[in-house]
Amino acid sequence: MIDLETLPHLPGCYLFKDSQGTILYVGKAKDLKKRVSSYFRKRGHDPKTESLIQTVKDLDFIVTNTEVEALLLENTLIKKHWPRYNIALKDSKRYACIHLTDEPFPRIRISRTKSGPGTYYGPFVSAKERDYVFYAVRKTFELRTCKKLPKKACLRYHMGACSGPCIGRIAEVDYREKVMRAQWVLKGNIGQLLESMRGEMKEASSNQQFEKALELRDEISALEHLQEKQNVERQRKYDQDILNYLIEEGNVYLMLFKVYKGTLEGKEDFVFAFNENFLEEFIVQYYSETQPPKELIVPEALDESLVEYLSQIKGKNIKVTVPKLGEKKTLLDLALKNVEIGFFGNRKKVKALQEALKLPEVPNVIECFDISHLSGTSTVGSMVQFRGGRPDKSNYRRFKIKSVDGIDDFASMAEVVRRRYSRLKEEGQEFPDLIIIDGGEGQLSSAFQEIRKLRLKIPVVSIAKREEEIYVPESSRPLDIKRNERASLFVQEIRDEAHRFAITYNRLLRQKAMTT
C-alpha cells in the first residue's frame, strides 16, 4: 500500500510498482510529495494514467539535491528498467554532451552517446543551455567542426570562426593549446573567459548593440551554469558504490548507491541488528555475492585486510575513499539523506499502528503470516518481517505444510505459527513486537492458540480481506479502524507482501510438480 504521508517535500525520482514489485513507471518531481499525491487526489486522468493508478500497489523513491539531478536520474532509471508506462520516453536518446574528439586537430561536436574516443562534458538537460556553451567555446577558441579536414578553407574560416587547420593557418601545437584552454573551460574553470565576455557585453551595450549584448548575456548565463556540479550523472570510467548508514535503537539502517561509470542507477537498502563489527560483516557478505566496484565511498576507514579481501574478489586493486569535502562527500551526504527519509519517514506509520492497536511498545519488528494453495494442493505458508516500517527480506521464511491434507487454512496457519516460534524459542532468538495473520477470526484463533501454548506474550491481530477489517483474539467484532487510515494501510501493506511471497512459493511448488 502507498502511504503518501511518508513522502518528503524534496526533489527526486519516484518508482510506481505493481503487486509483484515490477516497476511500472518512473517519474521525476521537484516536490515528491506534491507530485505523487496529485496522481491519487486529482480526478479526470487520461485512460493510460487511470490504468497506471489502478495497477500501482507500491512506491519507492530516491531523493536528489536538485531537480536537474532528478531529471538525469529519471532518464537513467528508465533506460535501465524500461517501465511499461514510460512509453513516450522509450527511445535510444540520452541527454547530449559536448565532445572533443581525439584527433591531431580535435573537433568539437554535440553527442548523445559516449562511445567514441575523446573527452565528453555533460550531459546537459537543457538543449538551449548546451548550445550556448557549445557555440561560445567553439567561437572563442576557433575550433573546427568539420568531420574531415577539407583541402580548402570553408565559410567558417572566412567568418573568423575557425583557425583554419585545413589550410595550414595554424600549427598543430598551437591548435592543441587552444583545445587545452577549451577543455579547461568545459571542466568549469571559466573565470577568465567570463571576465572577457562580460567586457564584450558592456562594450556592445555602450555601442547600443543590444541584440549582441543580449546574446552575450545568455552565453554568460550558460557558462555560469556549466560550473554547477552534477552529482547524479558524472564523468567516470569506473564503477563506484556509495555506502552510508544510521544507527538507531539497536538497529543499523544502511543505504547503498550503485554508480555505473558515473551514472547513479539505483539504490539498495538494508536493516539489521547492530553489533560492533556490523560494517565489516555487511561488506564481506554483500560483496561475496556481488562484484565489488573500482571505488567504494564510505563514511569511515576500513581495515586493510578487508580492502585486500575486496581486491582479491575483483581481481584488481579496490580504492576505498572516506571523503571530507567535495563532490564525493556530497554523494555520501545524499545517501545519508535517503537513509533518513527512506527509513525514518516510516516511523509515522509504525507509531500510528501502535496508537491504533493501543500497544505498550512501538512495534518495530512485525511478522505476518499467510497461507496459499490451489484447491488444497501445494499448500504453503509464508512469513514476512517488517523492521522499522520496511520489509526485511533477509528474515522472510516460507513453509511447506506437512501436517495438513486438503483445504484447512486454520490448521495450516497453526502449523506455520507453531514451527516459527517454537524454533525461535529453542534457539533463544528475538521475537517480534507484533504478529499479523492474514485472515478472519478462524485463522486468528488458530494462531493465537499456538502462541498461548508456547507461553509467549506477543500481540496478535488479523486482517480480513473483504472489508480490510482488523480483529484481535477472543473478539467477534473488528476494531474501529477505517480501511483508509494510516494504521490500516500499513497493515494492508504488510499483508499484501506476505500474500505475494506465499503465492510465489506456491507457484514454484506447482511448477516442480508439473515437471515431475
Q: pLDDT tens, 233-263?
A: 445 556 889 999 998 878 888 999 888 766 6
- Between CA 310 and CA 319 the distance in angstroms is 10
Domain boundary pick from 345, 368, 385: 345
Q: What mean pLDDT is reported for the chain? A: 83
Which grid coordinates belong to 142?
576557433
Max CA separation in the chain (angstroms)? 96
Residue 317 has pLDDT above 60, yes or no: yes
Residue 388 has pLDDT above 50, yes or no: yes
Mean pLDDT, range 500-516, rounded to an integer: 77
Look at the chain and report how many structural domains it folds into. 4
Specify if 105 maps to a domain: yes
HSE-CB of 266 using CA atoms within 13 angstroms? 11
CB within 8 Å of 329: residues ≥ 6 apart: 323
Give me the sign of the Cα torsion angle 290, 296, 298, 303: positive
Q: How many CB atoms lie within 10 A of CB 305?
A: 8
Mean pLDDT is lowest, of 85-94, 323-332, 431-440, 451-460, for: 85-94
What one-character DSSP code corresponds to residue 107? Answer: B
Hey, what long-range contacts does 196-205 have (CB within 8 A, 24 or more apart)? 197/136, 197/223
Is residue 273 within 8 Å of 250, Cβ to Cβ?
A: yes
Judgement on whether residues 175 and 305 belong to the same structural domain of the protein: no
Q: In what order do the strands lie in the sheet with 118-121?
A: 108-111, 97-101, 118-121
Angle at 359 between CA 418 and CA 467, to 5 degrees: 75
Hey, what long-range contacts does 143-149 have (CB within 8 A, 24 or more apart)? 143/106, 143/107, 143/108, 143/178, 143/179, 143/182, 144/105, 144/107, 144/108, 145/107, 145/108, 145/109, 146/107, 147/107, 149/105
Query: Can you give the pLDDT at residue 40?
Result: 85
- Between CA 124 and CA 187 the distance in angstroms is 13
Judgement on whether residues 176 and 148 belong to the same structural domain of the protein: yes
Closest CA to 449 of 483, 477, 475, 473: 473
Mean pLDDT, range 466-491, rounded to an integer: 89
The one-letter amino acid code at 240 reads Q
Query: Can you give the pLDDT at residue 65?
Result: 82
Query: Can you give the pLDDT at residue 506?
Result: 75
* SS3 state at 136: helix
Residue 226 has pLDDT above 60, yes or no: no
Closest CA to 230 of 316, 331, 106: 331
CB within 8 Å of 21: residues ≥ 6 apart: 58, 500
Mean pLDDT, range 386-393, rounded to an integer: 87
- Between CA 470 and CA 487 the distance in angstroms is 10
Strands 23-29 and 12-17: antiparallel
**In the block, residue with C-alpha cell 506455520:** 416
263-306 pLDDT per residue, tens: 677 788 888 878 778 888 888 888 888 888 899 999 999 888 88
Q: How many CB atoms lie within 10 A of CB 447?
A: 26
Domain boundary pick from 21, 54, 89: 89
Query: Can you give the pLDDT at residue 511?
Result: 75
Is residue 299 within 8 Å of 244, Cβ to Cβ?
A: yes
User: In what helix (H) or strand (E) does residue 179 lie, and over which residues does it extend?
Assistant: helix 172-186
Residue 503 has pLDDT above 90, yes or no: no
Specify if 299 maps to a domain: yes
Residue 394 has pLDDT above 50, yes or no: yes
- Between CA 94 and CA 80 the distance in angstroms is 12
Provide the terminal-to-terminal Cα distance of the chain, rounded to the nearest Å. 37
Judgement on whether residues 201 and 257 belong to the same structural domain of the protein: no
Mean pLDDT, range 425-453, rounded to an integer: 92
- Between CA 405 and CA 162 the distance in angstroms is 85
Judgement on whether residues 331 and 442 belong to the same structural domain of the protein: no
DSSP string, 221-234: HHHHHHTSPPSSB-
Judgement on whether residues 445 and 496 belong to the same structural domain of the protein: yes
User: 358 pLDDT band (50/70/90 cuts)?
Assistant: very high
Query: Can you give the pLDDT at residue 189?
Result: 62
Judgement on whether residues 201 and 320 belong to the same structural domain of the protein: no
Specify if 234 maps to a domain: no
- Between CA 126 and CA 71 the distance in angstroms is 10
Residue 229 has pLDDT above 50, yes or no: no
Judgement on whether residues 439 and 319 belong to the same structural domain of the protein: no
Judgement on whether residues 108 and 76 belong to the same structural domain of the protein: no
Judgement on whether residues 131 and 211 belong to the same structural domain of the protein: yes
Is residue 105 within 8 Å of 175, Cβ to Cβ?
A: yes
> Which residue segment(s) compose the domain that 187 sits in?
97-226
Specify if 174 maps to a domain: yes
Domain boundary pick from 89, 117, 144: 89
Judgement on whether residues 77 and 161 belong to the same structural domain of the protein: no
Angle at 145 between CA 144 and CA 151, to 5 degrees: 70
Residue 21, CA distances (Å) to 383, 437, 496, 497 in order: 17, 22, 11, 10
Which grid coordinates belong to 336?
545519508
Mean pLDDT, range 74-101, rounded to an integer: 70
Judgement on whether residues 313 and 449 belong to the same structural domain of the protein: no
Specify if 119 maps to a domain: yes
Mean pLDDT, range 65-76, rounded to an integer: 77
Q: What is the CATH number of the domain that holds 74?
A: 3.40.1440.10
- Between CA 254 and CA 257 the distance in angstroms is 10
Judgement on whether residues 260 and 180 belong to the same structural domain of the protein: no
| pTM of model > 0.75 | no
Q: What is the CATH number of the domain that holds 286?
A: 3.30.420.10
Specify if 110 maps to a domain: yes
Query: Can you give the pLDDT at residue 92?
Result: 43
Between 236 and 342, name the one with better pLDDT: 342
Strands 377-387 and 434-438: unpaired
156-191 pLDDT per residue, tens: 877 777 888 888 888 888 888 778 878 877 776 666
Mean pLDDT, range 182-204, rounded to an integer: 77
Work out the percent of the chain whose per-residue pLDDT is above 70: 90
Specify if 439 maps to a domain: yes
**In the block, residue with C-alpha cell 547524479:** 232
Specify if 232 maps to a domain: no
Q: Which of 122-136, 272-286, 450-464 has the highest mean pLDDT?
A: 450-464
